[in-house]
Amino acid sequence: AMWSGLFTHLTESWNNFKGLDPDYVTWMDLMEKHGYHTQKYGKLDYTSGHHSVSNRVEAWTRDVDFLLRQEGRPMVNLTGDRKHVRVMEADWWNTDKAVNWIKEEAINLTQPFVLYLGLNLPHPYPSPYAGENFGSSTFLTSPYWLEKVTYEAIKIPKWSSLSEMHPVDYYSSYTKNCTGEFTKQEVRNIRAFYYAMCAETDAMLGEIISALRHTGLLKKTIVIFTADHGELAMEHRQFYKMSMYEGSSHVPLLVLGPGVKEQQQIPNMVSLVDIYPTML
């Protein structure tokens, strides 16, 4: 939706099985054609369908009496110590590449530029016992980031009983291994680790903004921060996505740059398809 400016019923990318057609002109392609220097780093999952055929089938079999697959039970994993800042190394590596490109390339360009950086965080990590075609059910961080989270402020979502749940919701909770018992502490930990992962993501964005500031480019550059899905983080007895609930479908859309008012919140309903015409 973001790269094509088209709704799902037009691209037929109902889930991760199908990417955009190879010859489709993205907004970045169009800007390059009209004189912009473009650069991409990190996650680019619009280019191809990565996941298995089972993803294609499961989208239409949510209310059945048997289980097609089950992901690992959601869990937390604390790694490193209070000095361990770079937990998601691949994202930091791509952030470093983007920062270096700003400092070494963008600063010397005579034409305008578009830089895209795709991060995996704050997406949960694949669990060690789950294969590639299974979901990611490990919330991983280090004490460095976890200490930035205020545990007392974390709200524990109310859950319906399993018998009261809509069959589609029940099936989703079942496939996500969330129909068992969870203590309040387990739920609080999952949410706390997710917020810690958000803090690490935020720091990466900070590196990009700092590089633009130090090169003098920030005052003439527009920065957009958004995402492809949210995280239920144990709301509705679920984690991860694959749900039309607010926690799963609501994504951030933050814009910084010349002519953009500070601290302004716009209540209008927007969607990722709006980014294509906005960029142009």
CA torsion, ordered 8, 133, 80, 157, to nearest 10 deg: 60
Range picked from 16-25, 49-58, 102-111, 130-139 for highest mean pLDDT: 102-111
- List pLDDT tens digits, range 160-178: 999 999 988 888 898 899 9
User: What residue spans define the domains of the chain?
Assistant: 8-279
pTM attached to this predicted model: 0.92
Q: Once rounded to an integer, what is the mean pLDDT over residues 267-274? A: 93
Q: What percent of the chain has pLDDT over 90?
A: 74
* Residue 129, helix vs strand vs coil: coil
What does the mean pLDDT of the chain come to? 90
Class of 8-279 in CATH: alpha beta
Per-residue pLDDT, 53:
62
Contact 150, 88 (CB under 8 A): no
Q: Residue 55, SS3?
A: helix
Taking residues 120-127, what's their average pLDDT? 93
What is the mean pLDDT of the segment spanning 81-101? 98
* Those residues with Cβ within 8 angstroms of residue 193's Cβ, 6 or more apart along the chain or in another chain: 76, 77, 78, 139, 140, 141, 146
Place of tokens 């984690």: 239
Q: What is the pLDDT of residue 134?
A: 64
